[in-house]
Amino acid sequence: MLNYFIGIGAQKAGTTWLANYFIKHHEVCFSPIKELHHFDAKFVSQNKYFDKVFINRLKREVKALSYENFDLRNSKIIRSLLYRVEMVNNSNAYLEYFDWLNSNGIFKISGEITPAYSLIGEKGFDYMNRMISNIKVIFLMRNPIDRHWSNLKYLKDKRGFDPYNEFRSSFQNFQYIERSNYKSTLKCLKSIFSPSQLYIAFYEDLFSADKSERTVSSLCNFLNISYIKPDITKKKNVSVKLDLDKENKMFGVNEFRSNYEYVLENFSDVPEVWHDNFNEFISQ
């Protein structure tokens, strides 16, 4: 029986770095398409458009092939996209995709990371758990206000909007705010998956000089793969450097109050920056 893992986020919490770690790991069959968006396209109405995104991407990739190189079997990304498009109407194609990727059986585990899966709720996680009988789930959390601000800065680079002007209104946007709703995500995860299926860690520990190796080692043990020393000097998708002013930071931390409280109450060894922000900015 094949073993599987799925990383569900959080966005801007080290998932791209982790994907690159898995890509280089000789025992991991990692999807050439890092974010498959299979489950969120089914269970998050705002994300249904991803099905069309992959259909259009497949069309572009096929069109770009030269006549001399027109052999779909030799294009891994095109075959991956064909499987993803098949998933729109056939969920069995999800597991068939990984069967194909690991057809020679040399990998110990197969998986992907799509941060938007943190949005699929209890119904989505139940579907995931029923569909994949041998599944393990990875969830990375980052200090909520830092994660949210990093996401807005990243969007500045991608879309050119002003994160300062958009900051307060962003808390009215489902896609922005729910990605830091750890309380909701954790409750849904724990209602569906057993503790042995869940690996929950902190972004701050993943990139900490004194905790990174221990964090990655425990993750490798969780997945039953060999430990390879991580290189935390090479972060991926680093946002532009912009500091959030104190007034807006206080506003944001208070907006995330329930998430700070839930994580601090339910996890030991929470990174110091969580405690610092909670103690400094939470209104009494």
Per residue in 21-33, pLDDT tens? 999 999 999 999 9
> Do the Cβ atoms of 227 and 233 come closer than 8 Å?
no
Domain with 232 in it: 4-281
> Do the Cβ atoms of 4 and 174 come closer than 8 Å?
no
The CATH number of whichever domain residue 113 belongs to comes to 3.40.50.300
Residue 157, pLDDT score: 67
Indicate the number of domains in the chain. Answer: 1
| pTM of the entire predicted model | 0.93
Confidence bin at 163 (pLDDT 50/70/90): confident
How confident is the prediction for the chain on average, in pLDDT? 92
Look at residue 118 and tell me whether its pLDDT is greater than 90. Answer: yes
Confidence bin at 63 (pLDDT 50/70/90): confident
Range 103-141 burial, b when 16+ CB lie within 10 A, else e: eeeebbbbbbbbbbbbbbbeebbbbbbeebeebbbbbbb
Instruction: State the average pLDDT over residues 37-63.
Output: 95
Residue 54, pLDDT score: 97
Q: Which residue has the higher pLDDT, 276 or 176?
A: 276
Residue 284, pLDDT score: 55
**Strand runs labelled E in the chain:** 4-7, 28-30, 109-113, 135-141, 198-202
* 215-274 tens-digit pLDDT: 999 999 999 999 999 988 766 566 567 899 999 999 999 999 999 999 999 999 999 999
Phi, psi at 233, each rounded to 5° = -80, -15
